[in-house]
Amino acid sequence: MKTRITIKKTELHKLYKSLTTRPNITREYVEQELASVFGKRNLHPTSVKERIQSLNDAIEALGYGHPYVIGYMEAEEALAKIGGDECALAFFELRIIVAALNEGWKWGGHSFCYLPMFELYPKDVLEDMTDDEAEDIQPVFSRRFPNIGGMAWKHNIDNMSLSAYAPACLMLKNESLARYAAEQFMQYWAKYILG
């Protein structure tokens, strides 16, 4: 008699991720074993928002041979030698994140694309807010701007409304991804904007 076991896809993805990061078990072995039980198509999340939740996820998605990843590694090493520059490094990090979220899509100048916009909150204003008012505001820290205490996604701006200050490599292919990139990767945007 066969027993049916039900497992949530998210739990399977967590199991896959934990097993494939262990040093003494090969990734191929784990993939093969899980695929034999659950089927290969069930192993990986289908939504880019499920797959890309950290800088490491974005690097893994692009691969270590991708020019943006190589540039980031070189910049990280060079900046470490001179004492670092968080703003410059954040640009390289965001470029990787955006490229991974866009899944190969690049703006060609003939379609809409989006850039998240943020609102900055001084510490004293944050202190006077209720919990409900401050719900979507993430705390940020900046040595250059010590009075800034928080930052929140405000809205997306499309390419028809932009000036030359927005790098094309940080543009996202749709509004939903732009908001996700803003909220999920707020710490990188804060470093990029505030230095």
**pLDDT digit string (tens) for 27-62?**
777 777 777 777 777 766 678 999 999 999 999 999
Give me the amino acid identity at 157.
I
To 10 degrees, the CA torsion angle through 182, 187, 189, 193?
140
Those residues whose C-beta lies under 8 Å from the C-beta of residue 160, and which sit 6 or more positions away, are 112
CA distance 20 to 93: 23
| Residue 139, amino acid | P
Q: pLDDT tens digits, residue range 99-158?
A: 999 999 988 777 888 989 889 999 999 889 999 988 888 888 888 888 888 888 888 887
